[in-house]
Amino acid sequence: MTGLLLRLHRTLWRRSMKENTAATIMAVLIVLYALIGLVSLTLSVWLLAPENRAWGVAGMVGLGALAYVAVAVIIPSGESQLNAADFATLPVTARDLQPAMAWSTLLTTRGVIAALSTAIATGVAVWLSSWWWILAMPVALVMTLLSGELARMLSSGSGRVSSERMNILSGVLVIAMIFGFNLLMSFGLENIPLDRIGRLLAWTPAAAPAGVVAALLDAHWLTALAQLAVTVATVVLGAWWWRTVITRRLTAPQDSVTREEVGERPEGILLAGLPYTPGAMIYSRGLRYFRRDPRMVGAIASFPIIALVLLVQGALVDDTTLYLGMVVLALISGSLASNDFGYDGPAGWTHLVSGVPARTLLVARHLAQLTPMVVLVLLVDVAAVLLADDSGRAALVAVISLGLLISVAGIALLLSTHNPFPTAKPGTSPWADKSGFSGAAFVAAFASLLLGWIPAAPGAALAAAGWVVPGLLLALALPAAFYWLCLRLAEKRVETRLPEIYDRVSRWVN
């Protein structure tokens, strides 16, 4: 059974990766960052005193394991082809599936990268410390793969309420990772306290096997025994929990919602103060649905984090970061509104039969998707002006960022109507692939960043040359004219090609 399932995994994996250049690019980027991390941490271990290098290796192993788990949750590879729920109608058990699912974690680009990184780290550890690492590193790899798989399944959630809670938790973890990484890099390679990090992480599943070897080399027998117990408990309990999850998904593949989730809430659709019109209803529904759609939660959560980091660094280090933050946030503000019809997916047929005018449908959906980012950009602009040493210059950049925001909104209209693509179904983890790594998704991701500055550039150049008032007026007027043109083109597209748009997004990606 295990061999048959692994052949199935390989066959489906080849089909999913065939001519999928986006997935290949993602794998190359992960390899690049893994190598950079290995080289950096190796130098840090080498710079430690010889008596601390064993614990430095433990720190390197622990940070590598945490990075793998983070990538498994935040940037899933989309290559795992053996899902327990898909076998619910077949006469197989969790005992049949678990060995194949365990081996299949290695048969992905992320698994191969983890194995190669472990092999390289083993050579480094043997060179810098002891031959005992040859025994510990394979165990560390197994625990890392197991932890990544458990974290990935946990982050996928079950019912709606549990998914929303997990989205919030994963968002908090991402914030902690970003600030933790910035704090670590602030020490410099020669001052990173890898030995102290290793002593701490050795009491966790991330580095417990490495902690056993480091403690033995220091002749701390009780510490080694305790960390061995952590290692054994992690493997046993992790394998048991994994089998429990597989069993539950075989018996209840739809993961039925709980009584708590179906409880009625006294909540209407229309937002307070809006008129009772189709456009206001569509706009209100779009805004209210943000917090219930995990696909949106991850994107929305990441932008305030970026804004906060840029504001803090700009206030503490250099005003240039404040200016950069206003410009970058304006350029990426249209990403949420670049695939309005794709997020509706198969339910888009309701637009075809609703009788709502194309302009009303288009503008209401578009404004609902833009609203969170418009609010964020305005808040960041105000904060940057208040925090900057040269508030006048910051105010000029803030006005230009509004022009960029208008330009990007126009590009989002064109992308949403001329470049729609299917997405993952609602309820998908916010950190999972939501587009099937399609070329249209990559166009949507980078079009605003690469092209959104063009309408505002002439006005910005005039303002920088000293023609402040004409420059600022032009930086707003040209983007406004561009937005009007994009709106007209988008309206015409929806009026004449809505069935075609629906056909392109009428299915969820797997």
What's the per-residue H, E or C state across 356-415?
CCHHHHHHHHHHHHHHHHHHHHHHHHHHHHHHCCCHHHHHHHHHHHHHHHHHHHHHHHHH
The band of 319, judged by pLDDT with boundaries at 50, 70 and 90, is: confident
The band of 182, judged by pLDDT with boundaries at 50, 70 and 90, is: low
What value, to the nearest 5°, has the Cα angle with vertex 342 and ends 424 and 79?
25
Hey, what are 313's tokens?
């660094």
Query: What local confidence, expressed as pLDDT, does residue 168 receive?
Result: 55
- Site of tokens 């299915």: 507
Structural contact between residues 306 and 182, judged by C-beta atoms closer than 8 angstroms: no
Same domain, 181 and 291: no
Q: Which helix (H) or strand (E) holds 236?
A: helix 221-251
Closest CA to 400 of 385, 420, 415: 385
Same domain, 217 and 357: no
Same domain, 120 and 178: yes
The band of 363, judged by pLDDT with boundaries at 50, 70 and 90, is: very high
Domain-terminating residue out of 235, 251, 267: 251
In a domain, 510, yes or no: no
Q: Total domain count for the chain?
A: 2
- Residue 461: is its pLDDT beyond 50? yes
- Residue 218: is its pLDDT beyond 90? no
More confident residue, 272 or 254: 272
In a domain, 134, yes or no: yes
Query: What local confidence, expressed as pLDDT, does residue 489 receive?
Result: 94
Q: Which of 119-133, 225-239, 365-379 shows the lowest per-residue confidence on average (mean pLDDT)?
A: 119-133
Same domain, 102 and 221: yes
Query: What local confidence, expressed as pLDDT, does residue 458 receive?
Result: 93
Tell me the range of 105-109, 313-317, 398-402 where mean pLDDT is highest: 398-402
Query: What local confidence, expressed as pLDDT, does residue 478 receive?
Result: 95
Query: What local confidence, expressed as pLDDT, does residue 510 receive?
Result: 64
**SS3 labels along 204-222:** CCCCHHHHHHHHHHCCCHH
Share of residues in the chain with pLDDT > 70 (%): 82
Same domain, 432 and 292: yes
Q: In the chain, what's the furthest Cα-to-Cα distance? A: 78
Neighbours of 464 (CB within 10 A): 12
Query: What local confidence, expressed as pLDDT, does residue 263 receive?
Result: 46
Share of residues in the chain with pLDDT > 90 (%): 18
Which class for 304: exposed (0-12), middle (13-18), buried (19 or more C-beta within 10 A)? Answer: middle
* CB within 8 Å of 223: residues ≥ 6 apart: 211, 215
In a domain, 261, yes or no: no
Neighbours of 413 (CB within 10 A): 28
- Residue 452: is its pLDDT beyond 60? yes
First-to-final CA distance of the chain: 24
Query: What local confidence, expressed as pLDDT, does residue 474 receive?
Result: 94
182/346 Cα distance (integer angstroms): 42
User: What value does the mean pLDDT take over residues 66-95?
Assistant: 73
Q: Which domain holds residue 189?
A: 2-251
User: What value does the mean pLDDT take over residues 376-383?
Assistant: 92
78 backbone φψ class: left, alpha, beta (φ>0; ψ -120 to 50):
left
User: What value does the mean pLDDT take over residues 149-157?
Assistant: 68
Same domain, 287 and 404: yes
- Residue 385: is its pLDDT beyond 50? yes
The band of 359, judged by pLDDT with boundaries at 50, 70 and 90, is: confident
Same domain, 27 and 151: yes
CA 320 to chain centre: 27
The band of 505, judged by pLDDT with boundaries at 50, 70 and 90, is: confident
Same domain, 457 and 389: yes
Query: What local confidence, expressed as pLDDT, does residue 490 receive?
Result: 94
In a domain, 460, yes or no: yes
Query: What local confidence, expressed as pLDDT, does residue 260 receive?
Result: 44
User: What value does the mean pLDDT take over residues 223-232?
Assistant: 90
- Residue 163: is its pLDDT beyond 50? yes
Long-range contacts of 457-465 (CB under 8 A, 24+ apart): 459/400, 459/403, 460/400, 460/403, 463/396, 463/400
Query: What local confidence, expressed as pLDDT, does residue 400 receive?
Result: 94
Same domain, 188 and 283: no
Structure confidence by residue, pLDDT tens digits, 339-354: 888 888 888 888 888 8
Same domain, 224 and 285: no
244/151 Cα distance (integer angstroms): 14
Structural contact between residues 61 and 117, judged by C-beta atoms closer than 8 angstroms: no
Same domain, 243 and 306: no
The band of 256, judged by pLDDT with boundaries at 50, 70 and 90, is: very low
The band of 42, judged by pLDDT with boundaries at 50, 70 and 90, is: confident
In a domain, 81, yes or no: yes
User: What value does the mean pLDDT take over residues 156-179?
Assistant: 56
- Residue 174: is its pLDDT beyond 70? no
Neighbours of 15 (CB within 10 A): 10
Same domain, 298 and 384: yes
Q: Which of 48-52, 55-59, 248-252, 293-297 shows the lowest per-residue confidence on average (mean pLDDT)?
A: 293-297
What does the mean pLDDT of the chain come to?
80
Hey, what are 241's tokens?
């929990």
User: What value does the mean pLDDT take over residues 52-63?
Assistant: 86
**pTM of the full predicted structure?**
0.61
Which class for 337: exposed (0-12), middle (13-18), buried (19 or more C-beta within 10 A)? Answer: buried
More confident residue, 121 or 264: 121
User: What value does the mean pLDDT take over residues 280-304?
Assistant: 79
In a domain, 244, yes or no: yes
* CB within 8 Å of 194: residues ≥ 6 apart: 41, 44, 45, 48, 55, 56, 59, 60
